[in-house]
Structure 1
Amino acid sequence: MAAAQGSTGAQGAADPAVSLRFTVTIDGKSIGNFNTCSGLKVEVVMEQREEGGTNGFVWQLPSRVKYSNITLKRAVGPDSHKLTDWLISFANEATYKTACITAMTGDGEKVTSWNLDGVVPVSWSGPDLDVGANNVAMETLVLAHHGFLPSSGAGT
């Protein structure tokens, strides 16, 4: 029953992917932890080519690789200034950066990481500031990138 809930794997060992947080660094500088990371996606765009005299199939040829934007979300907190500081520095000198998104367990152990090349911010949205609301103040960062970089070591 525990395996069905996702808290343990098939062998009874703890499943590290149950409760994750995501640590993000830009050019080696931490911009903090995030609760949600979506958009880690690669798509190979295929071109179809028909060959004369061959009616049984169509050639599927890879043409380009597309990478989705990555969306990171978290509650506003002590690390929020690190993110806005990076956004200000990008506005002053717009250059591509490298980034690393590391999935961490609740105990702080690394599960895996994704190294990204050519990272730029697409958008940032801060919280709606309403003293009458009963919501957590959230911020959202959207990043574009040129692709993944090779892992720097085992287990990444």
Structure 2
Amino acid sequence: MANYYPPVSFHFMVEFTGISSQATDTQFQSVSGLSVDIETEEFAEGGENRFKHKFPVRTKFPNLVLKRGLVIDSEVIQWCRDAIESFQFEPTDLTVKLLNEEHDPLMTWNVVHAYPVKWTVEDFNAEENKLAVETIELAYNYFTLV
């Protein structure tokens, strides 16, 4: 019987389709928001007072949140700035790849029609010794597991 070891969650990369192929634009500290909820609608049946029927209605995807150390010359940040400063939105697809020890993808999430909705840089504080971290928040339609 073979032993199964779950993959580690710290070895991953993010690729933006058509925006950048720079290594700094694929490396992030964390990715969150790869989840889906199914909204339900309740229906009360006449004569049945013990419960209400629940029916699936649609799926709901939260925003995708990407964090990394501040990158000075980034095409992804330029894409975000075009949307935020000039209100020129160019939705794009991106992939999040969980990698094994040989850097091959174990799982791939294809995020469809993503566009920036928030960009923040953490507070600067002279009393702390830490990296400047930027956060990019993206809205998207849905994701699929490839």
TM-score class normalised by the smaller sequence: 0.7 to 0.9
- The separation in 2 between residues aligned to 1:106 and 1:28, in whole angstroms, is 27
Residues 19, 75 of structure 2: 8 Å contact kept: no
* Number of residue equivalences: 141
Taking structure 2 as the reference length, the TM-score comes to 0.77
Which of 83, 92, 95 is the aligned partner of 1:90? Answer: 83
Taking structure 1 as the reference length, the TM-score comes to 0.73
Map of 1:70-89 to 2, 5 A cutoff?
70-77=64-71, 81-89=74-82
Matching residue of 1:100? 95
CA deviation after TM superposition for structure 1 residue 18, in Å:
4.7
Give RMSD over aligned pairs.
2.7
- The separation in 1 between residues aligned to 2:81 and 2:12, in whole angstroms, is 25
Matching residue of 1:112? 107
The 3-state SS of whatever aligns with 1:136 is coil
Deviations 1:58-93 (A, max 9, x none): 211112221101111112347x51222221343542
Residues 71, 141 of structure 1: 8 Å contact kept: yes
Report sequence identity in percent. 24
In structure 1, runs of 5+ residues without a counterpart are 1-9
1:120/1:142 CA distance change after superposition, 3 Å: same
- The separation in 1 between residues aligned to 2:139 and 2:30, in whole angstroms, is 16
The 3-state SS of whatever aligns with 2:79 is helix
1:144 paired with 2:139, answer yes
